[in-house]
Amino acid sequence: MNKPIETPLTFAPRDAYGMPTPLSESEHAAQLKKTLLKDIQRSAYVYRVDCGGCNGCEIEIFAAITPVFDAERFGIKVVASPRHADILLFTGAVTRMMRMPALRAYHAAPDPKIVVSYGACGCSGGIFHDLYCVWGGTDQVVPVDVFIPGCPPTPAATIYGFAVALGLLDQKLKARHDEEAADERAILAHPGIPHELRVRIEREARRMAGYRHGGSIADDFLTLVAQAASARDFESVVGQHLAQKDDPRLSEIFTRLQAVCIAGPQDMQP
């Protein structure tokens, strides 16, 4: 069933069970990399290795080098062979079929080189992280220098990622670990509104306009309810609000929410 392994383990490492393990970077290569960063800032040759991505990342990389984002302004040039590359850009979660091509590209690129892992699939395997036919991210096969999250990363996020890889910009993200403070409490939204009414309004708003618009519409509505001194007052402030927004769809949604208020709890949908 299992044929003897043909490629040397220095090329494609495996553990005692025959499972692939990541290639590690040699000391020598790590040293060379430091000098690379000094030279590379004027022009960087990038070779793209698609390890089984859906192509979303490919297209955004494409967009990053076309006129609107123009990564070529920073000397970033895509090359056709890994032998000419300073930067290897890996996309995809590393499907089984792409493990060897990925390793071949890595070995073909001369040291020193920078390895960038692109997109959620590259960084970690993304939504496919534990599937049978992927290895779960670039760093499962080769050592990685920079990770660019996104699904797909936008061209601007791509340019930012290159800037970090080239040492032009510092990364912004830092690991965070919050510990619960003494007497820390989650604050209730709209404390002046009866809970069951708030739930009914929020649900109807979401059914009408989705979680994002619906959330802010429900907030606006409930704020107006809380502020109103009387039913007539409420009608008046709602009228003003809708006149100012001048959006027929918003008016339609508000009408629905008012109906929900009047209807009372027994008409609520599950």
Partner 1 sequence: MSVAEHTRTGRNYVAGLRAQFPSAVLEESWQTADQVTVTVTADSLPEVVAWLYYDQGGWLSVLFGNDERTLNGHFAVYYVLSMEREVKSWVVVRAPVDAVTQEYPSVTPRVPAAVWGEREVRDMFGLKPVGLPDERRLVLPDDWPDGLHPLRKDTMGYNQRPSPTTDTETYTFFNDGGESRVVPLGPLHITSDEPGHFRLFVDGEDIVDADYRMFYVHRGMEKLAETRMDYDQVTFLADRVCGICGFTHSVAYATSVENALGLEVPARAQVIRSIFLEVERLHSHLLNLGLACHFTGFDTGFMQFFRVREKAMTMAELLTGARKTYGMNLIGGVRRDILKDERTRTLKLIAELRAEFTPLVDMLLETPNLKQRTQGVGRLDPKVARDFSPVGPLIRASGFARDIRADHKYAGYGALPFDVQSENSCDVLGRVLIRVREFYDSLALIEYALDHMPEGPILVEGFAYKPHAFALGFAEAPRGEDIHWSMIGDNQKLFRWRCRAPTYANWPPLRYMLRGNTVSDAPLIVASIDPCYSCTDRVTLVDVKKQKSTTVPYKEIERYSRERRNSPLK
Partner 2 sequence: MFKLLKIIARAGEATEKYPFAPLPVSPGFRGKPEYTAQQCIACAACVLACPPNALAIETDAEACTRTWSLNLGRCIFCGRCEEVCPTGAIELSAEFELAVANKADLMQKATFTLTRCRQCDTPFAPTKEIEYALALTAQQGAADSDLESLRALFETCLDCKRTHALAVLDARRYVVKGAA
Please, what is the end-to-end C-alpha distance for the chain in angstroms?
A: 54
Phi, psi of 252 (to 5 degrees): -60, -45
Closer of 239 and 265 to partner 2 (Cβ): 265
Enumerate binding residues for partner 2 (CB under 8 A): 67-70, 73, 120, 123-127, 129-130, 137, 139, 144-151, 153-154, 156-157, 159-161, 163-165, 169, 171-181, 184-189, 191, 194-196, 199, 211-212, 264-268
Contacts of 258 (CB under 8 A, 6+ apart): 238
Burial of 85 from C-beta contacts in 10 A (0-12 / 13-18 / 19+): buried
Pick from partner 2, partner 1, none: which does 81 bind, CB < 5 to 8 A by kind?
A: partner 1
209 binds partner 1 (CB under 8 A): yes
Query: CB 218 → partner 1: shortest distance, Å?
Result: 13
Give the amino acid at 254.
F
Give which of partner 2, partner 1, none residue 58 binds (C-beta under 5 to 8 Å, depending on kind). partner 1
Give the residue among 18, 210, 50 at the shortest CA–CA distance from 121. 50
CB burial string 4-13: b at 16+ within 10 A, e below: eeeeeeeebb
Does 169 help bind partner 1 (rule: CB under 8 A)? no
* Residue ranges in contact with partner 1 by CB under 8 A: 1-3, 5-7, 12, 14, 17-20, 50, 52-60, 62-63, 66-68, 80-81, 92-93, 95-101, 104, 126-128, 130-135, 151-152, 154, 206-214, 245-250, 252, 269-270
